[in-house]
Every structure is written in C-alpha cells, then in structure tokens.
Structure 1
Amino acid sequence: MSRYGFVVVGTGNIARAHVEAIGLLPNAFVAGVTSHTPERARAFAQEYDVRAYADLAEALADDDVQVVSVCTPSGAHLEPAVAAAEAGRHVVVEKPLEISTERARTIVDAAERAGVQLATIFMSRFSDAHVRVKEAIDAGRLGRPLQGDAFVKWYRSQTYYDSADWRGTWTLDGGGALMNQAIHQLDLLLWLMGPIDEVFAFGDTLAHDRLEVEDTLVAALRYRSGALGTLTAATSLRPGQPKLLELHGSRGTIAVRDDAIVSWDLLDVSDAEREDVTNASAAPSGTFADPMAMSFENHRRQFEDFVRALDTGSSPLVDGREGLRSVSVVEAIYRSVREGVRVRVPDA
C-alpha cells in the first residue's frame, strides 16, 4: 500500500479540516503547508508539526509531496491547482472548485492534460444518511422523481464576514450564501435528483450592512427528469436552522436534516425499517450558527475515497467534473438574479 504525502495550500479554518482529516488516514500524511503569508505558514506548521514551505514551488520540488490540497479563498483556487497538475501532482480542491465555470474548467482541463487525479470537496456525499438515500434512489425505491428541495437557512454575523478581507466579495468568495454555504446542498440535489436544466431566482442582501454579495436567495429549479424543486440559501436568518433536504418521488418521500434521516416514507417500507432508518431526535451539527461546529469524519471519508482512487486508478466519487457541475448551476442562478429571467443551465 502506497503512502501519499499532501501539501496543504492555505492556513485558514478549512485548511485545518483538511489536515485533521488527512491525519486520520493510515496511508496518507501531511508533508507540509504553504501560504502567501510566510509567518502564518510557520505558525500553522509548528502547531501541526509539519514543514512550512516558502512557497508552492518549493513544495512541488519535494519528492515527499504527491498531492496538493488547495484551501485558499475560492477565487484563488485556479493558480495553485493548475501549477500542481502541471507539476504532475494530484489535486484536491476545497469547494467550490472555482468561482466561475471558465476558471473551474481550466482546472479540470489542466488535470486531464496532465493525467492526474482531481477531486472537489463535497464531503456531505459521504455521510451515512446520504449514502443510504443514494442507494435507495438507485434501487428505484423513491420512484419517478417529482420534487427535490434544499433549505439552508443559516446565520453568519457581520463579524464572520469581517474576519477576512476576502469574505463576502465577488472577486475572491465568488458569491454569498449560495456559492459558499448552500453549494453543499446543491451538490446533493445534483447527485440525488440528477442534472438541473433551468433556474429562476431572487437574491438580495437583507441583513448585513457591509456585504457586497447576497445573504438571502431563493431559486426555483427544473430538473432534466422533469421534476421541480427549490433551493433556499441564507446567512441572514438568526439564529439559523439545520439544513434540510427533501426528496419526493412517485413512491414516497425522504427527508434529511443535517446528516440524519428524519423521513423515510416509501411505499415498500416496513415500520421496523422506518424506525431503524430515521433519527428525528438526532442533534444538529450546529454549523447553521457556527462555521467551525463540524466533525472531520465526512472529510476523512472523502480523503479516503481519493486515496483509494490513487491506488486503483479509478475516479474519485467527486471528481473535477462533478465540481464543475455545481459551479455551472450557481452561475446560472446568479445570472437569473441579475437579469430577472429564467436561465438555462449549460452542460458543464
């Protein structure tokens, strides 16, 4: 079994999640970290007892590094990801893959040209609940898809947005509640309900004084299957609510709150199975109010899947093209908000 060395690019909160998750794998390790702010890289490296590289070029020259994990602000993913691919290193990019389809596609193309693996972090796909839902849908238990809805009614204070100069900016954050918080639920809708062909949306900044992106957005969705849906994305709704996913088909309804199945109402379900599957009393994660109130387990599972792909040569569950799909839908939704029209989602 090979053992893979990762360099983490960035030293923010999400970089910590990557380091913690990688550290839980027996066949992976964090070789070091790099940042555009050297003193932050040194402090971060000392905390985790890893190497602080002067820059990405120095990390790419280290034979201990086989994978680059990109944890920079969203609008700064392209440059380190492409540099890593061109150096023959595999790449993991925190969500979103980038802030536009053009920039995201550039990353995908670079990885495919170089023949390296590329993954986008969407760790919610790896929760026990969502895996079970996917298995049920693939087995036809939900029936013909009718409606798929996702609700992310969260709260983030102005202090959260003021904590870094890139937060809440179009240039580096790429958007607000949709691009950065609800994109996880959007990815689940795409995975579980299939491609989205058309959107119509309203969005605005309703609760923050110093914010150039939206903090409240509602979108209507038309899936390729003919099913309809809605997506709510907010960081304006004090005190915040656990995220909710509701899937309706011709054979019943499934609902997931955070990572717990709270409705498993299918035509072929027994009372015993429903009781076994549902967990309506599960405590929410708390991320609706605190961005750091999260477990690293689903991150660990996604990195485990990525390392397995390196070993076998198969594609990771969430590869670069999967990451590109969600950016394409987000871009269409933002265009609908700006222009006040229905927008077709181009194939990613």
Structure 2
Amino acid sequence: MKQVRFGIIGAGILAPLHAKAIQENPTAELAAVADIDKEKAEKFAHDYNINKVFTDYEAMLLEPIDVVCLCVPSGMHARFAVKCAEMGKHILSEKPLDITFRNMDLMINACKQAGVKLGSVFQRRTLPHFLEAKNNLDSGAIGGMMMINAYLKYYRSDEYYASAGWRGKWELDGGGALMNQGVHGIDLLQWIGGEVVSVKAYTGTLTRKDIEVEDTAAAILKFKNGAIGTIQGATSVYPEQETSIEINGDEGTLKVTDSKVEIWESMTNQLAAPQLPLPDHDGHAIIINDMVEAIINDREPMISGMEARKSVEIILAVYESARTGNEVILSEFHPFESHRDKGVSS
C-alpha cells in the first residue's frame, strides 16, 4: 500500500501531537517540517527523526508530500492553506479552521477547486463518552432533546500567554475563552445537538487586563429542533474544569466530561452508564488515521472544512451578539460563499 507522506508547518506546541500520531500509523510517513525559526525546526526534526527541514514552507511544498498539517496560529491558517491547495496538497488544519468567514470560505473553496481534501482537528469527537452520549441521544434513549449545555471553564496562566506573542490578540488568536479554548466544546455542542439557528450572548475580559480577547463568555442558543442550549466559557477559572456537556431530554439526562460519565439516567429506559476505558491517546491518532484513509479511499475526512466551519460560525455569532446586544440569526449572519474572490484577511 502506498505511504501517505505528511509535512508539518509550524513546530510549536501542537506539532508533536501530529508527529506522534503520524509515526504511529504504518501507512503514513512524516517526511518534512517547516518553521520560520530554523533552530526550532531543526530541533523538532531531530526529536522526530524527520529528514527534510525548511524555513520556507513554499520550498517544502515542492517536495513529494501528500498532506500538510497546519500547526500555525489560528489566524494564519488560510494564508497557508490556499497555497498548499494550489500546490495539490491535502490539508489537515488544527482548530479553529480560521478566525474569519472570509478566510474559512477561501480555504474551503481553494481545496474544492484544487480537488484536495480539507480536514480539521476536533479530537474530542473521538472520546468514547461524547460518542456514546451522541449515540444515545440520536437513538431516543432520553426522548427528545430539550436543553443542551456546554461548560467550558479553563485556566490559562501568565506563562501561557507569554509563550507566544499572538496569544490573547484578536489579530491572530481571533478570540479567547471561546475561539481558542472553548471551540472544542462548541463543536461538540452542535455535533451532538444539531443545527443552531440563533444566539444571544455576553462576553467580557473580567480578570485579565493583559489580553485583548474575552476571558469570560455566556450564551443562549436556539436549535433547529426547538431545543435551547447554553455555553459558559472562561479561561480564568481556577482550578480549571474538564469540558462537560449536559443533555436534558424529556425522558432523561446525560452528562459527560472528557474522562467520565456524571449523569446517565432515563425514566423509560433501563440505561446503564457505560464503562468506557479512556483511550491511550488524545484523539489526534484517530484524526490522522482517518485522514490517511480518506486519501486512500478518496472520501471526505471525518471532520471536513464545512463541518469545522460550524463551530466558528457560532463563536463569531456570539461575539457579534455581545458587541451589538442583539440576538443573531445564523442564517442571516454569514452564509457560506462559494465564490469568494478577495484575498486572505489579516
């Protein structure tokens, strides 16, 4: 079987997760890394036994690689992705897909026009507790969904924000408690609960005065199926908590976190809380394996560009509602544009 050859752009804190996952897959090869910091790129290449090292990512794209993993700041994804697509490379982007509608739509369109795959990393979808909760809701085990709530309360230290100059800045981070940290939980919320139709929200920078973006956010969501949802997000809650999703049906409740089942009860069904072992990986391995299979079998990745766009759409609606004080109707906000001809926004 043909080896699927990967290159990584960006040798920062997320790149090792990609590298380890690629090297665990027998049909994948980690062939190259690119980073403008030569010393960082060379150290990363040494640590993961990578033969080709570049400070110019466009030079890396001339190599016979099949997939590029984007591990660069969130607001830079599109500028790299468009060039990768033009060079015929499949793309696996870290979350979020990007931080603006224009950039996300440019990425999606560029990949479609070039005939390459675009996938995104939302590895919490692969965790057994969230998978089991979605399956039970879909099967009607707790009746029809009435409410779904995402609790996304984390802690980020001064050292975290100091580790990279773009952190906490609107230009490249695109947001804080929601866009950077909470995006995984918001992806789970819409993946499990279904289409969100409107948002009313409040955000603030309540405890950290050294960042531009929000450290606290709360939102009420209406779903297409009539249910109501809430989001509570923060980056200044100590001690931080696990990502938690609570689903209230008209016949029961499911509440799960990254590592455990907290509530698993139904009035009408004999629901036994699943005894699910925690995986021995963080989910990147499943995402990488899926990308390899998508290329070999010529299908869409597990989490396509259009699918990854949904969580960012909700977050941008939260920011718009907080800015204006109005409810935001998503269908009227920023529908996907299949013919964007403007350049990447900065």
TM-score after normalising by structure 1? 0.91
Provide, for residues 117-146 of structure 1, a one-character-per-residue CA deviation record: whole Å limited to 9, x for no partner: 110110011111222222222322232221
In structure 2, what residue type is equivalent to 1:57?
E
Counterpart Cα distance in 2 of 1:340 and 1:233: 18
Provide, for residues 27-80 of structure 1, a one-character-per-residue CA deviation record: whole Å limited to 9, x for no partner: 1121111012222211211121102123222211111x1000001000010111
* TM-fit CA distance, 1:26: 1.3
Q: Would you say the 8 A contact 2:200–2:326 is kept in 1? A: yes
Counterpart Cα distance in 2 of 1:173 and 1:80: 16
In structure 2, what residue type is equivalent to 1:208?
R
Corresponding residue number in structure 2 for 1:166: 166
Counterpart Cα distance in 2 of 1:248 and 1:128: 19
Corresponding residue number in structure 2 for 1:345: 330
In structure 1, what residue type is equivalent to 2:127?
S
Q: 1:313 to 1:137 in 2, by over 3 A?
A: farther
SS of 2:170 mapped into structure 1 = coil
In structure 1, what residue type is equivalent to 2:326?
V
* TM-fit CA distance, 1:259: 3.5
Counterpart Cα distance in 2 of 1:332 and 1:88: 33
SS of 2:313 mapped into structure 1 = helix
Q: Would you say the 8 A contact 1:20–1:296 is kept in 2? A: no
For residues 293-304 of structure 1, the aligned pairs below 5 Å read 296-304=281-289
Counterpart Cα distance in 2 of 1:266 and 1:302: 32
Provide, for residues 250-280 of structure 1, a one-character-per-residue CA deviation record: whole Å limited to 9, x for no partner: 231111112422222124543xx514x157x
Counterpart Cα distance in 2 of 1:141 and 1:8: 42
For residues 315-334 of structure 1, the aligned pairs below 5 Å read 315-334=300-319
In structure 1, what residue type is equivalent to 2:321?
S
Corresponding residue number in structure 2 for 1:56: 57
Instruction: Give the RMSD, CA atoms, in angstroms.
Output: 1.7
Counterpart Cα distance in 2 of 1:207 and 1:59: 42
Corresponding residue number in structure 2 for 1:291: none
Corresponding residue number in structure 2 for 1:150: 150
Residue 6 of structure 2 is aligned to residue 6 of structure 1 = yes
For residues 1-348 of structure 1, the aligned pairs below 5 Å read 1-50=1-50, 51-63=52-64, 65-270=65-270, 274-275=272-273, 277=274, 296-346=281-331, 347-348=335-336
In structure 1, what residue type is equivalent to 2:272?
R
In structure 2, what residue type is equivalent to 1:274?
A
Counterpart Cα distance in 2 of 1:142 and 1:59: 51
Corresponding residue number in structure 2 for 1:286: none
In structure 2, what residue type is equivalent to 1:41?
A
Provide, for residues 288-326 of structure 1, a one-character-per-residue CA deviation record: whole Å limited to 9, x for no partner: xxxxxx974411011111111112112112100011111
In structure 2, what residue type is equivalent to 1:223?
F
SS of 2:171 mapped into structure 1 = coil
Counterpart Cα distance in 1 of 2:290 and 2:140: 25
Counterpart Cα distance in 1 of 2:247 and 2:15: 32
Counterpart Cα distance in 1 of 2:323 and 2:259: 33
Counterpart Cα distance in 2 of 1:20 and 1:33: 13
SS of 1:253 mapped into structure 2 = strand
* TM-fit CA distance, 1:7: 0.5
Q: Would you say the 8 A contact 1:21–1:297 is kept in 2? A: no
Q: Would you say the 8 A contact 2:129–2:258 is kept in 1? A: no
Corresponding residue number in structure 1 for 2:340: none
Q: Would you say the 8 A contact 1:178–1:217 is kept in 2? A: yes
Q: Would you say the 8 A contact 1:125–1:188 is kept in 2? A: yes
Q: Would you say the 8 A contact 1:262–1:278 is kept in 2? A: no
* TM-fit CA distance, 1:202: 0.9
Counterpart Cα distance in 1 of 2:208 and 2:194: 34
In structure 2, what residue type is equivalent to 1:34?
A
Q: Would you say the 8 A contact 1:82–1:110 is kept in 2? A: yes
TM-score after normalising by structure 2? 0.92
Q: 1:195 to 1:228 in 2, by over 3 A?
A: same
SS of 2:272 mapped into structure 1 = helix
Give unpaired runs (5+ residues) of structure 2. 337-346
Q: Would you say the 8 A contact 2:137–2:145 is kept in 1? A: no
SS of 1:40 mapped into structure 2 = helix
Corresponding residue number in structure 2 for 1:290: none
Provide the identity percentage.
Answer: 36
Aligned residues, how many? Answer: 332
| Deviation beyond 4 Å, 4+ runs, structure 1 | none
Counterpart Cα distance in 1 of 2:182 and 2:132: 21
Which segment drifts farther, 328-337 or 33-42? 33-42
* TM-fit CA distance, 1:209: 2.4
